[in-house]
Structure 1
Amino acid sequence: MIKNIPNKMSDRDLLMFIERVVRRRIDFFYLRMDFQNGCNVGYAFVNFMTVKDLLVFAKARLGVKWNMYSSEKVLQMSYANYQGKEALVEKFKNSGIMDEREAWRPKIFYSDGPQQGLPEPFPAPTHQRRKERSAHNRGALFVPGVAR
């Protein structure tokens, strides 16, 4: 996970930020959004294709100020509970998030071959009831800035 992302940053901006260091070397990307205010919540799931790609990015960006959007935030990284493109796709393909705006959905990219690093179609849901449950529970999810 990439953490401490400036809240005004879009998925496109973050993808370009990553690409400046490791071009076409990620195969999963999801910048979590706050649906009510349209800003990101400060973290993204990013799967680098190899450990080397991860280390190159971390060496270049970890602990460095973003220097954009008037943010004083410093980029942080951590391991997520789900690791690898396959596990992340499985987690999100049956999620109600896939019915949200295109820019707010998880994205996948080809992991190898001539199209490596280019957008790949996201697999269709395999458990419609799970997806419906996810969409129904969306309002129950943690929303930053809302006291519970």
Structure 2
Amino acid sequence: MPVMVYYCPPPSVQMVVYGFPAAPPPAAAPATRRCSITLIEEGGAGDEPIELKAGDEPSPRKAMAPFRLALPPPTPPAPAASALGFTASTSSLMIRNIPNKFRKERIIAILDQHCADENRNLRSRSRGVKSEYDFLYVPIDFRTRCNKGYAFVNMTTAAAALRLRGFLQDHRWDAAQCPKVCDVVPAAIQGRDAFVAHFSASWFPCHTKAFLPVWFDPPRDGVQQTKAHVVGRIVTRPRG
């Protein structure tokens, strides 16, 4: 007849070494902390047009996003410039999705600061071509006196054009309280002379030359003084 044996293990006994207290139980693992959303205070006014004054250096890159994940997800790599139509001779750019209340003076201030910063970096490296521009046109809706959301600029070299694109591409205008995301592409017209020839025969139905295209001599580099030459003609309409 089989015999059944039941075995009961003894209760666990904490070993105590004479002269030493028992080791404390292990501490509980800390609770996992989730990613938090941090509010970033940002300065600057809204997207109301401003007058360019001496010493003003508004920068679009200072317009930080108001909300940002503490651990943002990785962003996919940007497509190569060549895949977007840029060539070794592309110097003229169309800057799209800018705040509609930005005047030409505001765009000039942004471009001036970018050129000044880039040229300062070039001097420290003692090599490379300058960042400077010699043509700018910010199309205006003459009824609302606001820009149409885009601008044309000609940089003096293709290298400077690529640097400007890298500076503005995918920029968010949060400090201007504008949800647009900046997009920079090659312009259909390339070169300052081509722009001047295109707009020289144009008529603009407005009452001020401030809304017309301009070219600069010498080119603007953010530091030296230049003279602006207006392109095109004004045709005034009777006020009714």
TM-score by length of 1: 0.74
Aligned to 1:144: none
The question of whether the paired residues in 1 share the 8 Å contact of 2:216 and 2:226 is answered with: yes
CA distance in structure 2 between the partners assigned to 1:117 and 1:45 by the alignment: 21
- The one-letter code matched in structure 1 to 2:104 is D
1:9 is the counterpart of 2:108: no
Gaps of 5+ in 1: 126-130, 137-148
Question: Which among 215, 231, 235 is matched to residue 108 of structure 1?
Answer: 215
Q: Helix, strand or coil for the counterpart of 1:121?
A: strand
Structure with larger RCO (C-alpha < 8 A, sep 6+): 1
The question of whether the paired residues in 2 share the 8 Å contact of 1:3 and 1:44 is answered with: yes
CA distance in structure 1 between the partners assigned to 2:225 and 2:169 by the alignment: 22
Q: Check 1:55–1:68 CA distance in 2 against 1; reply closer, same or farther (3 A cut).
A: same
Which residues in structure 2 correspond to 1:1-148 (within 5 Å)? 1-23=94-116, 25-97=132-204, 100-111=207-218, 118-122=226-230
Q: Check 1:41–1:96 CA distance in 2 against 1; reply closer, same or farther (3 A cut).
A: same
Structure 1 residue 98: deviation in Å? 8.4
Q: Check 1:97–1:68 CA distance in 2 against 1; reply closer, same or farther (3 A cut).
A: farther
Structure 1 residue 72: deviation in Å? 1.4
CA distance in structure 2 between the partners assigned to 1:99 and 1:38 by the alignment: 9
The question of whether the paired residues in 2 share the 8 Å contact of 1:8 and 1:69 is answered with: no
Q: Check 1:68–1:38 CA distance in 2 against 1; reply closer, same or farther (3 A cut).
A: farther
The question of whether the paired residues in 1 share the 8 Å contact of 2:142 and 2:206 is answered with: no
- The one-letter code matched in structure 2 to 1:85 is R
Report the aligned-residue RMSD. Answer: 2.8
CA distance in structure 1 between the partners assigned to 2:170 and 2:225 by the alignment: 26
Q: Check 1:98–1:91 CA distance in 2 against 1; reply closer, same or farther (3 A cut).
A: farther
Q: How far does the alpha carbon of each residue in 1:86-118 deviate from its partner, in whole angstroms, 9 at most, with x for none?
A: 000001111102865222100111256xxx772
Q: How far does the alpha carbon of each residue in 1:67-94 deviate from its partner, in whole angstroms, 9 at most, with x for none?
A: 3431011111112221100000001111
Aligned to 1:142: none
Residues paired across the two proteins, number: 127
Q: Check 1:22–1:38 CA distance in 2 against 1; reply closer, same or farther (3 A cut).
A: same
| Identity over aligned pairs, percent | 29
The question of whether the paired residues in 2 share the 8 Å contact of 1:98 and 1:106 is answered with: no
- The one-letter code matched in structure 1 to 2:115 is V
Gaps of 5+ in 2: 1-93, 117-130
- The one-letter code matched in structure 1 to 2:212 is R
TM-score by length of 2: 0.47
Q: Check 1:78–1:9 CA distance in 2 against 1; reply closer, same or farther (3 A cut).
A: same
